Chain A
């Protein structure tokens, strides 16, 4: 999967997601950028939490992958975009995966659906056997 990310090539960073420590690192990087583009404290927390959910899914269900994160500008607004990508098994039924409380593992089943509610833009691309890519953006107000 490629070419889907709305992250500008100029200023994005890549973080491998292969362990719990990486999830923490990813979260910290997202927070730093959220602060840099002056998101409110609530929006910072929402974005960081969404990133935490998606990074963990990348690790647990995607078998590891990468997060790319950076600042984005559109229509005079600035925001933070984070893209989580893995080449794991993919999601066979996206609607089901986005249903509150549905989990194929032992989780609360609220990560994916919750992350969508926590951000402004949410796109999910997945292919069975081909991997999953989730991109989220939060805009400064």
Chain B
């Protein structure tokens, strides 16, 4: 058998016993997943994969990156994404594919030529297993960064303190990305609640560097453009000294030591707005 004949021979070998080999594959994998995925689903997944693999071999030989294997790659990508989301380990995920090597293996009375064909198949499955792991890792990364984003959203609640007054308490390390998110949310909250006073409370912030200060300043300017005034509260002594040493000027922005003082100031300043029911024009 020449190199070119191998894929065709594999197609023969795999189709001859497609039913029983497919079942054996499902059986092998289901043992490793111990019932955390339904047998019916696994059966569908792997038989689809099996059929696509045969078609790939038929149309594209052993070149798993080629067009003929597009369906195989799509199914594997889908499989690893589902596994990653369902919390299966990388090993469990790769095993779904690699178990195919034990099932689609030569037996004692396989001819020497076929043994060689199986060897190529085994290499092919290894490559597909690695591909599966790659997609798995990428999906995990996506999940983690999505969660980080959600956390960022969660940890920066903008609250309506009073009619016409919104406040955002900043807590923890302010990196640039988070400051940006907070500021956007604050400006949006001004619009959504029809408020014209905003309090940014930095009591929970361990350090304010020039970048964070710049975001704060930009927010104040943007709020002014929208007809709203900002108060920065909770500037603790060590932060105040650091800001002064850095040379940051907050100009005419009102700063208060506590949130309560800031609220009092906001209510006094927004007085006209408070007595007028239904907010402002």
Contacts and interface: CB of A to CB of B under 8 A. Distances in A.
Nearest to A55: B209
Contacts of B139: none
B242 to A, nearest CB: 5
Nearest to B177: A20
A114 B207 CA distance: 14
Given A42-B238, A44-B238, A117-B247, A108 B207 contact: no
B210 A53 contact: yes
Interface string A47-78: 01100110010000000000000000000000
Question: Most A CB atoms within 10 A — which of B175, B209, B210, B213?
Answer: B209
Contacts of B247: 100-101, 110, 113-114, 117
B241 interface: yes
A46 interface: yes
Contacts of A53: 209-210, 246
A31 interface: yes
| Interface size class, chain A | 20 to 34
Nearest to A114: B246
A20 B176 contact: yes
B245 A107 contact: no
B206 A108 contact: no
Contact of B213 (A42, A100, A108): A108
A44 B173 CA distance: 14
Interface in B162-182: 173, 175-177
A97 to B, nearest CB: 14
B206 to A, nearest CB: 7
Interface in A99-125: 100-101, 107-108, 110-111, 113-114, 117-118
Interface string B29-70: 000000000000000000000000000000000000000000
Interface string A13-45: 000000011011001100100000000011011
B175 A24 contact: yes
A100 B239 CA distance: 19
A46 B241 contact: yes
B206 A31 contact: yes
| Interface size class, chain B | 20 to 34
B177 A107 contact: no
Nearest to A31: B206
Given A46-B242, A114-B245, A27 B207 contact: yes
Given A44-B238, A110-B210, A49 B246 contact: yes
B254 interface: no
B207 A45 contact: yes
B277 interface: no
B248 interface: yes
B278 interface: no
A32 to B, nearest CB: 12
B13 to A, nearest CB: 50
B175 A42 contact: no
A56 B246 CA distance: 15
A41 B207 CA distance: 11
B210 A114 contact: yes
B211 interface: yes
Contacts of B209: 49, 52-53, 56, 111
A27 B208 CA distance: 12
Given A117-B247, A118-B245, A42 B237 contact: yes
B214 interface: yes
Contact of A107 (B214, B237, B239): B214
Given A20-B176, A45-B241, A49-B208, 15 more contacts: A20-B177, A24-B173, A31-B206, A42-B238, A45-B239, A46-B241, A49-B242, A56-B209, A56-B211, A107-B210, A110-B210, A110-B246, A114-B245, A114-B247, A117-B246
11 contacts: A27-B173, A28-B173, A42-B241, A42-B242, A49-B207, A53-B246, A108-B210, A108-B248, A110-B247, A114-B245, A117-B247
